[in-house]
Structure 1
Amino acid sequence: MTCRWVWLVAFAVTVLGVAADVEAAGQPDFNALEGTCLRVELGGDDLTASCLATIGRSAYSDGRVGFYFMLTGSRILTFSGVDRSNRAQGFDIDRVVINAGAANGSPNVLAASGHCAVRNGPRGADTIQCSGQFSKGTRFSAAFRLKGKPKKGEVQSDN
């Protein structure tokens, strides 16, 4: 329970850190989703081992959306963009927000290009995949598999 409160506080700090750009859009709809983190990479750094089993999704009234990869130490990596086509299946990334934790100051907002997509999986176990690069060419990627709905009589597994 404490871990959930820590990342919720860190999420609030991240949202407040980028609020200047989206202040007119009001409060976002935010959903926390459970599952399995498959990959988080920034440049040559593999952060997968520090990725938690919860991901966030936000949607603002102006079309800005984001996926929040929760990491240990109250860190959050957010892939954000404006969903101009109102597609629920993905969006183009225009920035990445790196929050090094509530005690480590303001989040870094970096210009980026790329795409986040939601791929349909078996039994509702959709996979969120984000990839792209920062303005100076450094590549990033992340993937998260949402918990699916088990078939009747089947036990849910994260494997």
Structure 2
Amino acid sequence: MARVFRNFEELESFVKQERGKGRKIVFTNGCFDIVHAGHVDYLEKAKAFGDVLIVGINSDSSIKRIKGEKRPVVPQDYRVRVLLGLRAVDGVVVFDDDTPLEVIKLIKPDVLVKGADWPVEKIVGREYAGKVERVKFIYDISTSKIVNKIVEIYCGKKVED
């Protein structure tokens, strides 16, 4: 059963326990605001790189700094709950920084996964991971596209990304 880590000590203890069982730790991160088919596919592919998938999600305040005051659409506790319900996810940790660097430094994942839209040299924390994998997106969907479609349907206007 997937679990949420309320602090870094819980996360560190879990990772140590799983490594003690010989399991390969995979880490990825994102906002996961309005979880959609692209997110599910991405997380399933990330999980396939190892045994235990830990997902770092940006806190609400972190998302506001990165994406603006109108985001996130879905509060962090709800985003955590949705991710915990996905079969591929073994654990979720919320981070308040703009990047997950401190989480990555703490757990030193065997595999760090990001989308193929990220050039390797821009992937934060790559130097603390055993290996970096990039996943291609097969769904042409994003939270921004969903929000824009809703606004267009219900308000009759286009919104800039």
TM-score (norm 1): 0.27
TM-score (norm 2): 0.27
| Higher strand proportion (structure 1 or 2) | 1
Which structure has more RCO (C-alpha within 8 Å, separation ≥ 6)? 2
| Higher helix proportion (structure 1 or 2) | 2
